[in-house]
A and B are shown apart, each in its own frame.
Chain A
Amino acid sequence: MKKFIALMLLVCMLVCGFLTACNNNSDNNPDDTGSQGSKTSHTVPTGDVTVTFYHTMGKNLSDVLVKYIAEFNKVYPNITIDHQTIGGYDDVRDQVITELQAGKQPALAYCYPDHVATYLRSKKVVDLNEYINDETVGLTQAQIDDFIAGYYAEGQQFGDTSKMYSLPFSKSTEVMYYNKTFFDNNGLKVPDHWFSASANDETSLEYVIKKIKEIEPTSIPLGYDSEANWFITMTEQLKTPYTQAVDKVQDRFLFNNEKNIEFCEKFRSWCQNGLMTTQAIYGGYTSGLFTNTTANEEGKVIHSYISIGSSAGATYQCPAKSDDGSYPFEVGIATIPQADASNKKVISQGPSITMLKQKDQTVNDAAWIFLKFLLTSPEFQAEFSMASGYVPVLKSAFELDAYKEFLSGANMTKDGIAALSAKICMEQESAYFTSPAFIGSSDARDEVGKLLVAYISAASTATQDELKKLFVDAYNRCVTLNQ
Chain B
Amino acid sequence: MAEFNNAVKEVNVESVKASQRTSKIIRYTITYLFLGIMAIIVIFPFYWMIISSFKTMDEYRANVPTLWPQNFVFENFTTAFSKANLLDLFKHTLYVGLVSTVLSLIVTILSAFAFARLNFKGKNLVFGLLMATMMVPGELYTITNYLTVSGRLPFISEPVEAFDITNTFAVLIFPMLVSVFYIYLLRQTFMQIPNELYLAAKVDGTSDFKYLWKVMLPLSVSTIITITILKMMGAWNAYIWPRLVANDAAHQLITNGLRGASFTDEFGETNYPAQMAAVTIVSIPLFLVFVFLRKYIMRGVSRSGIKG
A and B touch in the complex (CB under 8 A): yes
Within 8 A of B (CB), among A24-38: 24, 27-29
The complex places the Cα of A28 from the Cα of B189 at a distance, in Å, of 47
A61 contacts B260, C-beta separation under 8 Å: no
- Whether the pair A104, B157 counts as a contact (CB closer than 8 A) is no
With contacts A24-B155, A104-B166 known, is A58 near B61, CB below 8 A? Answer: no
Chain A hits for B132, CB < 8 A: 7, 10
Please list the residues of chain B having a beta carbon within 8 angstroms of any beta carbon in chain A. 58, 61-64, 79, 82-83, 124-125, 127-129, 132, 142-143, 146-147, 150, 152, 154-157, 159, 166, 243-244, 247, 259-271
Encode A76-104 as 1/0 by CB contact (under 8 A) with B: 00000000111111000001001101111
Q: Tell whether, in the assembled complex, residue B154 and residue A292 are in contact, meaning their CB atoms are under 8 Å apart.
A: no
Q: A88-B264, A88-B268, A103-B150 are in contact. List 4 more A-B contacts (CB 8 A).
A: A6-B128, A10-B125, A101-B147, A289-B63
CB atoms of A59 and B143 under 8 A apart: no
The reply to whether B128 and A102 contact each other, CB–CB distance below 8 Å, is no
Contacts of A3 in B (CB 8 A): 124, 128
- Contact call A87/B260, Cβ cutoff below 8 A: yes
Who on chain A is nearest to B66 by CB? Answer: A294
- CB neighbours (8 Å) of B268 from chain A are 56, 88-89, 351
**Distance, CA A388 to CA B265, complexed state (A):** 9
Mask of A105-147 contacts with B, CB within 8 angstroms, 1/0: 0000000000000000000000000000000000000000000
Would A98 and B146 count as touching, CB distance under 8 A? yes
Q: Which chain A residues (161-219) contact chain B, with CB distance < 8 Å?
A: none
In the complex where A58-B264, A59-B261, A89-B268 touch, is A84 in contact with B247 (Cβ < 8 A)?
yes
Q: Which residues of A contact B (CB under 8 A)?
A: 2-3, 6-7, 9-10, 21, 24, 27-29, 56-62, 84-89, 95, 98-99, 101-104, 284-285, 287-289, 292, 294, 296, 310, 312-313, 316, 320, 351, 387-390
19 contacts between A and B (CB under 8 A): A29-B157, A57-B266, A58-B262, A58-B264, A58-B266, A87-B243, A87-B263, A98-B142, A98-B244, A99-B244, A101-B146, A103-B150, A103-B152, A284-B63, A285-B63, A288-B62, A288-B63, A292-B63, A312-B266
Chain A facing B: main interface SS = helix
In the complex, which residue of chain A has the Cβ closest to the Cβ of B82?
A59
Give the docked Cα–Cα distance between A242 and B129 (Å): 49
Among B125, B264, B269, which residue has the most Cβ atoms of chain A within 10 A? B264
Chain B nearest Cβ from A149, distance in angstroms? 24
Residues of B near A85 (CB, < 8 A) are: 260-261, 264
**How far is B155's CA from A62's CA once the two chains are assembled, in angstroms?**
42
Q: Which residues of A contact B263 (CB under 8 A)?
A: 87
8 smallest CB-CB distances across A and B, nearest first, come from: A27-B157, A102-B150, A6-B128, A6-B125, A288-B63, A56-B268, A388-B266, A284-B63
Cβ 8 A contact of B58, one of A86, A320, A389: A320
User: For A310, what are the chain B residues with a Cβ–Cβ distance below 8 Å?
Assistant: 267
In the bound complex, do residue A312 and residue B143 qualify as a contact, i.e. CB atoms below 8 Å apart? no
Interface centre among B147, B244, B267 (most CB of A within 10 A): B267
A21, A98, A284, A388: the one contacting B154 at CB < 8 Å is A21
Select one of B63, B128, B159 contacting A103, CB under 8 A.
B159
